[in-house]
Amino acid sequence: MTTLHLSNLASLLEAGDRMLSAYQVDAQAVFERAGIERNNDPDARVTIQQSRAFWREAKRATGDACLGFAMGRAIMPANLHAVGYAILASRTLLDGLDRLARYDRMLTTGLDLRVDKNSDSIEVSIFEVHAHTMPQEGIDASFCVVMNMCRAVTEASFSPIAVSMSRAEPPCAASLAEFFGCPIRYGAVRNTLAIDRAAATRTLPRQNPSVARANDEVVHDYLARFDHDDILLRVRLELMDLLPRGTPTRAQVAQSLHLSERTLQRRLAAEGCTFRELLADTRRELALSYINQRHHSVLEVGFLLGFTDPSNFARAFRAWTGKSPTDYRAEVLQR
């Protein structure tokens, strides 16, 4: 199985300093035990493994099972590099949320943020890019980050319509209900925040298109450099885009990445994998993620993975898990 180079923007951890100080914990000692060397480079990144170590050491030092939510509440727009400033200058909250979803891989390559527009609401969903890789604390923090961004561009009293979390109810459920100011459902199929559409599309008094565009350019420059350095992630993202249209070919992906097939093959080989292996791994990981989402039928999951014949999808899924898609989903929903 191939290993993706998942990472987070290091500036997010600046909030960790403030959060740990509130617990009267030596933040520098926590970072050192986690193997994270602090510096002032705004473009620096930390690996998911380092992030896991940070959460482990921070929980050990604080004893707080709700540490992820505390970290998310400490993250402010300035911790999000140019993405944060572009959001602050957005014309509407929806524009800001679209930016957050569009540029989420600058902040973390472990989570995927999606924005769906319904007739009366906007639904912000949080997914793991690589199944069972992100620590729960990272997912917990992301809910509060989205909430902080919404309040930063609207008003401090802003609240969503509803929040759904796939995790079990945490010991801080009461304080979270107060923080979000809306009903929270635990044990849900997906991680989502529902926002009133009228509130999300209202023109903001502090909107500044010129500032937003200038910061968009900074983000584009960062991602261009970042993407060039991570071929596995780039190929996987292309596969995710192409799969709903059928089984992608190496030629299609190479063309999308503006590479020759030979160059793509050589760069994948340097990472110890082949195009076929990466395609199979991506399909398997997406299959396990989609099958847990009740709003997708088993037939739809097969099509999303590029299988035009349901029987081929069923055979592939059985090879991955030892179970049919229907039986696997039934077991997951009973847990």
DSSP 157-177: T---SEEEESSPPPTTHHHHH
> Cα(23)–Cα(4) distance, rounded to whole angstroms?
34
Other beta carbons less than 10 A from residue 2's beta carbon: 16
> Cα(123)–Cα(146) distance, rounded to whole angstroms?
12
For 196, the token pair is 């009133």
Least confident of 45-49, 77-81, 213-217: 45-49
Region 300-309: mean pLDDT is: 90
Ramachandran region of residue 112, left (φ > 0), alpha (ψ -120 to 50) or beta? Answer: beta
For the chain, helix, strand, coil in percent to 5 are 60, 10, 30
Distances (CA, A) of 157 to 65, 108, 153, 164, 180: 26, 27, 11, 20, 9
Q: Map out the domains of the chain with their CATH numbers.
A: 7-209 (3.90.1520), 230-334 (1.10.10.60)
pLDDT band with cut points at 50, 70 and 90 for residue 334: low
Q: Which residue has the higher pLDDT, 238 or 249?
A: 249
Contacts of 247 (CB under 8 A, 6+ apart): 279, 306, 307
pLDDT digits (tens, 9 = 90+) for 84-122: 999 999 999 999 999 999 999 899 988 999 999 999 999
Does residue 73 contact residue 179 with C-beta atoms inside 8 Å?
yes
Q: Which residue has the higher pLDDT, 66 or 293?
A: 66
For 298, the token pair is 């088993």
pLDDT digits (tens, 9 = 90+) for 53-88: 999 999 999 999 999 999 999 999 999 999 999 999
Computed from CA positions of residues 89, 90, 91, 96, in that sequence, does the dihedral angle turn out positive or negative? negative
